[in-house]
Amino acid sequence: MVDHPVYVGIDVAKATLDVAVAPTAERWTLAYTEREMAGLVTRLTALAPALVVLEATGGLEGPLVGALAAAGLPVVVVNPRQIRDFAKATGTLAKTDALDATVLARFAATVRPTPRPLPDAATQTLAALVTRRRQLVEMLTAERNRLGSAPRTLRAEIQAHITWLKRRLARLDTDLGQAIRTSPAWRVQDDLLRSVPGVGPVLAATLLASLPELGRLDRKAIAALVGVAPLNRDSGTLRGRRRVWGGRAAVRAVLYMGTLVAVRHNPVLRAFYQRLRAVGKLPKVALTACMRKLLTILNAMLKHQQPWTPAYAHGA
């Protein structure tokens, strides 16, 4: 008798966990508490699964992922869009927590995504600070947009909130800087990243917190991970326009802002952008190519622990 590998899918909600096992179709629900979670870890350890897959749920999955990883279980957190696309492709159109767990288990057995190490506590803290900064910026932008069309009776309140958000953002930038500068390893990486014209503290912190693979992958893999690698859209004799898609949107958004600065102040990126525009590339296409080139340069610098020089950047 041949033993088949076991794959587990877990749908995480605020108060409950739905668990499904493939290929046995076993399924159960439990409360999302410390005690129940410990029992789940024990039960899954006995099953010895080849893979445990969860969806990213805005941080709700964090304690469970930490407990599973600490027990040595191979756990992967995947993008919810991948799961919905997989469900549609396999004909599962209904959506419940129990069905989601089953789909996750089937996804684990079919796709078998590669587990990656769980970030350490310091990296998780830095990532939380970066995420909170992005949230504050979004709130500040929304309040500024409201101010122009708000009734006069509300303008003072909105302005006071804008002032508070700006102060909080400044304090958070200080906290981010301190978190990086107090870590010897991060300080070295931060110095390397910020030696590049166009790379400021926000982009450097975002890359350190949200792209730990930087410097460890090849240029094609890192571009695909961030979502700045052009993807073909061809069918038969039709040759569609290549587009960038997917990847880590939060990293890509900050990289975009850094590239806007770099194409003005970084001699290598400026010349590259102007050359693309001169041969007829649209501004957005040229800027996306510059994002990819900047990311490639940063990846090579961290891989070889080399600071910025124009000559080195040309060869990256």
Q: How would you label 158-181 residue by residue, b for 16+ Cβ within 10 Å and e otherwise?
A: beeebeebeeebeebbeebeebbe
β pairing state of 238-239 and 51-55: unpaired
The model's pLDDT over 142-155, given as tens digits with 9 standing for 90+, comes to 999 999 889 999 99
How far is the C-alpha of 130 from the C-alpha of 181, rounded, in Å?
15
Looking at residue 251, its pLDDT comes to: 93
| Of residues 217, 224, 226, the one with CA closest to residue 249 | 226
Q: Residue-wise pLDDT tens for the chain (316 aa)? A: 346 899 999 999 999 999 999 999 899 999 999 899 999 999 999 999 999 999 988 778 888 988 898 888 999 988 888 899 898 888 887 788 788 899 999 999 999 988 877 677 778 888 889 989 999 999 999 999 999 889 999 999 999 999 999 999 999 999 999 888 888 888 999 999 999 999 999 999 999 988 988 998 899 999 998 999 765 554 454 454 555 556 788 899 999 999 999 999 999 999 999 999 999 999 999 999 999 999 999 999 999 999 998 776 666 6
- 3-state DSSP assignment of residue 7: strand
**Full strand arrangement of the beta sheet holding 51-55:** 27-31, 16-22, 7-12, 51-55, 75-78
Q: Which residues are CB-contacts of 45 (< 8 A; sequence separation ≥ 6)?
A: 71, 72, 73
| Of residues 296, 298, 294, 275, the one with CA closest to residue 286 | 275
Q: Which residues are CB-contacts of 308 (< 8 A; sequence separation ≥ 6)?
A: 192, 195, 196, 197, 297, 301
Considering only CA atoms, give the Rg of the chain: 23
How far is the C-alpha of 227 from the C-alpha of 213, rounded, in Å?
14
φ, ψ of residue 237 to 5 degrees: the values are: -85, -10
How far is the C-alpha of 222 from the C-alpha of 242, rounded, in Å?
18
DSSP of 232-287, one letter per residue? --EETTEEPPPB---S-HHHHHHHHHHHHHHHHH-HHHHHHHHHHHHTT--HHHHH
Looking at residue 313, its pLDDT comes to: 66
Helices (H) and strands (E) in the chain, counts: 13, 7
How far is the C-alpha of 111 from the C-alpha of 117, rounded, in Å?
19
> Which CATH homologous superfamily contains domain 7-111?
ATPase, nucleotide binding domain (3.30.420.40)
The model's pLDDT over 38-57, given as tens digits with 9 standing for 90+, comes to 999 999 999 999 999 999 88
